[in-house]
Chains A and B, each alone.
Chain A
Amino acid sequence: MDADALRRRVADLLAAHDPATTDRLDFLRARFDAGLAWIHFPEGLGGLGAPRALQQVVDQALEAAGAPDNAPRRIGIGLGMAAPTLLRHGTDAQRRRFLRPLWTGEEVWCQLFSEPGAGSDLAALATRATRDGDGDGKGAGWIVDGQKVWTSQAHLARWGILLARTDPDLPKHRGITYFVCDMTDPGVDVRPLRQITGEAEFNEVFLTGVRIPDTHRLGEVGEGWQVARTTLMNERVAIGGARVPRESGMIRLVADTWRRRPELRTHDLHQRLLRLWVDAEAARLTAERLGRRLALGHPGPEGSGMKLAFARLNQEISGLEVELLAEDGLGYDDWTLTRPELVDFTGRDAGYRYLRAKGNSIEGGTSEVLLNIIAERVLGLPPEPRTDKDAAWKDLPR
């Protein structure tokens, strides 16, 4: 499948479904069925088994034709994490059921991993899944009880990827199973958790007697940790593949303000701005390198560093921006409790960016944990001594 063949497919799609007259969702469904959603996915699942690098050919052609996009429901958890996990570990029936509405944005996903007592040490999680029914009859399934926390977009989600403990007698990594949780089940209680920014983008989720059919299990019983690793790896690499123009994202906002408002300039801010501009450009070029390597099928270890780099950059740039704005930096746009669909760094003011960026070094693995991962898996430095690896989960101090 080369670029020309893809352009022909796009032309066929547009001919059959004129974006000017076709309903948005109908168009997105047709695009999925034509294999033009994520072209590197297999045929029949929204893709064509084509090289990932060519996706931009499709995106550009469709954008030029004014076709609708799956934004704003392009929520990272579904596209970036649930989808690759379903693709790799799901059954055929699961992939056929879940992938299309996930991609079109009709069904939003959330990630029910973290718990009050299990964040960085995710494998310590305590949410229990016990067998329900005889195990081989029709209604065989699971009953889940526990509490999840910091669950982004749970209030919008139709499905959640869920980790639960199925065997407390095994060491913590071995007794976990991975499920797809129906967020409309009566046992699921989603409560907003207000954040540092004032809004509630994440939630607490209480799970009480939630029934999950065995057909919604992903991977084998007790092998949830292996499945979760696919999710987590994709979570951290999700960034990076995209080509972004120079001076995009946060640095653009500060640079624009700098150019527009000469009265705010000081020598100290100038020095710091130039340093951050260089750092942002270095990070952009590193992501460009990673994107190229991914496209050629050599993922390269740069991926684990990108999240770290962007977290640092976002925090430093947004901090500088508030300072640059001086008097204006003292104000804040809106403290009312809102339930945003997306994290929108550009749509709000500098104070919001400054506060929200603090989460970048915590969500999806803290910077400290990522540094450990780079040191051990990329550089091969010796691991920390561990006392919890082989003990049964139920015997661990909590």
Chain B
Amino acid sequence: MTTPAPPDLLYSETEDDLRAAVRSLLTDHGGPTAALAEAERARPHDPGLWRSLATGMGTAGLLVPERLGGQGATAREAAVVLEELGRSVAAVPYLTSAVLAVRTLLGCDTARPEVAGPLAALADGGRVGALAVPLPTAPGGAPPVTVRGGAGLSGEITSVAGAAGADVLLVPADSGLYAVDTTAPGVAVTPVTPLDLTRPLARVTLTGATAILLAEPARARDAVADALLTGAGLLASEQLGLAEWCLAETVRYTGGRHQFGRPVGSFQAVKHRLAALWLDVVSARATARNAADALATGSPDTAVAVAVAQAHCGEVAVRAAQECVQLHGGIGMTWEHPAHLYLKRAKSDQIALGTPGRHREALARLVNLPGPVG
């Protein structure tokens, strides 16, 4: 087993600046309180916040080269944005549009106007895209193709994240990858009530929908595989941010809440749990940074780095959110307190883009630790 060139696991100054800017935008916008209010509105995402974040700050185009209308940054910067979005459980289609849809388009022939056009529109945040695959799809295992080409596209795809609220869907079909306008005839996007109130899910039904071919089947498969790998790797950063908020908020709360004449946080049974959670968060940061750095540098280690980050961070985020609810006591069970938003996001993030178990199975192949035969 060889170790690849040492990754850069720290944050650069540019990344720190980007974080500060995104955090201040999200704080001004109201943080988790605003996310809670937003979750009660019947709209897929908060358009004002999305405009400021995506277009105003240019974060939608971080992964897109400048010549294609983006910011020419890397997965490392996008990861920092996702950390902050996880910390605030903001309802914006960053992961689904700026990461998954953008990466899918980048995997197609960007010299063609059919690809370059939508890519530039997603990169400046003017339009929102979504990759039409079920959210639980893990990288490596391509989703079963349920859409057929021909005179228009027909078929159904379930649990598509970010489809509600998207302008354009990138649809993998038997005859290649297609772009479908959500307002076109034959396209029905039916919202599903999601466990995670801050990331809309929908069922996409196509009945002879007009579509533009973006890539032939082989290239389409690679483009989708790469997008899923990037999405899974960067999702770890969202999970990290989420876990960090849960830890910080629980430390703050238990430090101030008094029972039995003492701050609850001075009891060792509570302290030890939070200290253990801190260690989880610290190690989640190392694995998430490793995945982001591998994606940014195109490291040959990327598949392992992503699988490790996903196997680890998914569970850390869920544990953090569960501890957050538990150690807040009764308040943690209320609708008014935002803790539930984090638990719901954490649990559905754990399933998104491959469960930890699936990523461990992938690792078994990648690092040659095969299971028993039979």
Q: Which residues of A contact B (CB under 8 A)?
A: 243, 245-247, 252, 255, 258-259, 262, 265-267, 270-271, 273-275, 277-279, 281-283, 285-286, 288-289, 292-293, 296, 301-302, 305, 308-309, 368, 370-372, 374-376, 378-385
Kindly name the residue among B10, B268, B271, B361 whose own CB sees the greatest number of chain A CB atoms within 10 A. B271
Which B16-44 residues have a C-beta within 8 angstroms of A? none
How long is the Cα–Cα vector from A176 to B200 in the complex, in angstroms? 63
- Which residues of the other chain, A, contact B268 by a CB distance below 8 angstroms? 368, 372, 384
Q: List 6 A-B contacts (CB under 8 A).
A: A246-B2, A274-B360, A370-B275, A375-B275, A381-B271, A382-B255
A285–B364 contact, CB under 8 A? no
> Could you tell me if B290 and A285 are in contact, using CB atoms closer than 8 angstroms?
yes
Query: In the complex, which of the residues B10, B278, B369 contacts A305, with contact meaning CB atoms closer than 8 Å?
Result: B278
Residue of B nearest to A379 (CB): B251
Distance (whole angstroms) from the CB of B83 to the closest CB of chain A = 15
Q: Mark B341-374, 1 if CB is under 8 A from A, else 0.
A: 0000000000000000000110110011111110
Question: Taking the nearest CB of chain B, how far is it from the CB of A293, in angstroms?
Answer: 7
Q: Is B193 in contact with chain A by the CB < 8 A criterion?
A: no
Residue numbers in A under 8 Å from B284 (CB-CB): 282
Interface string of B236-265 (1 = CB under 8 A from A): 000000000001000100110000001101
Q: Among A292, A371, A380, point to the contact of B276 (Cβ < 8 A).
A: A371
- Verify A278–B312 contact, CB threshold 8 A: yes
Is B9's CB under 8 angstroms from A262's CB? no
| Complex A-B, nearest 5 residue pairs according to Cβ-Cβ distance, in ascending order | A375-B271, A285-B286, A265-B372, A374-B275, A382-B266
Q: In whole Å, how far is A374's beta carbon from the nearest beta carbon of chain B? A: 4
Residues of A near B312 (CB, < 8 A) are 278-279, 282
Q: Cβ of A282 and Cβ of B286 under 8 Å apart?
A: yes
B271 close to A305 (CB less than 8 A): no
Residue B282, interface by CB 8 Å: yes
Q: Are A282 and B271 in contact (CB under 8 A)?
A: no
Not counting A246-B3, A265-B373, a sample of 10 additional A-B residue pairs whose C-beta atoms are within 8 angstroms of each other reads A259-B368, A265-B371, A266-B372, A282-B287, A285-B9, A285-B308, A288-B6, A301-B282, A379-B274, A382-B263
> How far does the alpha carbon of A384 sit from the alpha carbon of B368 in the complex, in Å?
47
Looking at the complex, which one of A274, A278, A305, A372 makes contact with B282 (CB distance below 8 Å)?
A305
Distance between B238 CB and nearest chain A CB, rounded to angstroms: 17
CA distance A383 to B247 in the complex (A): 18
Interface assignment of B279: CB less than 8 Å from any CB of chain A = yes
| Cα distance A301–B285 in the bound complex, in angstroms | 13
A292–B360 touching, CB < 8 Å: no
- Complex Cα gap A381–B266 (Å): 6
Most chain A CB within a 10 A radius of its CB, from B1, B2, B289, B361: B1
Give the interface of B toward A (CB within 8 A): 1-3, 6-10, 247, 251, 254-255, 262-263, 265-266, 268, 270-272, 274-276, 278-279, 282-287, 289-290, 308, 311-312, 360-361, 363-364, 367-373
Bound Cα distance from A308 to B370, whole angstroms:
29
Which residues of chain B are near A292, meaning CB under 8 Å? 8-10
| B360 and A289 within 8 A (CB) | no
B122 to chain A, nearest CB (A): 32
Q: Which residue of A lies closest to B4 (CB)?
A: A246
A269 and chain B: residue at smallest CB distance: B372
Contact present for B6 and A243 (CB under 8 Å)? yes
Provide the residues of chain A in CB contact with B308, threshold 8 Å. Answer: 278, 281-282, 285
Verify B279–A309 contact, CB threshold 8 A: yes
- Chain B residues lying within 8 Å of A273, measured Cβ to Cβ, are 369
Pick the residue among A252, A262, A379 that contacts B278 (CB under 8 A).
A379
A262, A285, A375: the one within 8 Å of B283 (CB): A285
CB-CB nearest in chain B for A244: B3
B356 → A minimal CB distance (Å) = 8
CA distance A247 to B366 in the complex (A): 13
Q: Judging by beta carbons under 8 Å apart, are A381 and B369 in contact?
A: no
B276 lies within 8 A of A278 (CB): no
From B254, B278, B287, B367, contact of A378 by CB (8 A): B278
**Contact (Cβ within 8 A) A286 B283:** yes
- The answer to whether B367 and A375 touch across the interface, beta carbons within 8 angstroms, is no
* Closest chain A CB from B40 CB (angstroms): 33
- Knowing A281-B308, A305-B278, the reply to whether A384 touches B266 (Cβ < 8 A) is yes
Known A-B contacts A247-B1, A262-B372, A371-B272; A288 and B363 likewise in contact (beta carbons under 8 Å) = no
CB distance from A11 to the nearest CB of B (A): 25
* A-chain residues with CB within 8 Å of residue B373 when the two chains form the complex: 262, 265
A378 partner residues in chain B, CB cutoff 8 A: 275, 278
Give chain A residues whose Cβ lies under 8 Å from the Cβ of B9: 285, 288-289, 292
Q: Which residue of B lies closest to A305 (CB)?
A: B279
The answer to whether A383 and B369 have CB atoms under 8 Å apart is no
| Distance of A372 Cα from B275 Cα, bound (Å) | 8
Q: Which residues of A contact B369 (CB under 8 A)?
A: 255, 258-259, 270, 273-274, 277
Roughly how many angstroms separate A273 CA and B369 CA in the complex, as a whole number?
9
Within 8 Å CB of A258, what residues of B? 369
Chain A residues with Cβ under 8 A from B285's Cβ? Answer: 286, 289
Chain B contacts of A245 at CB under 8 A? 1-3
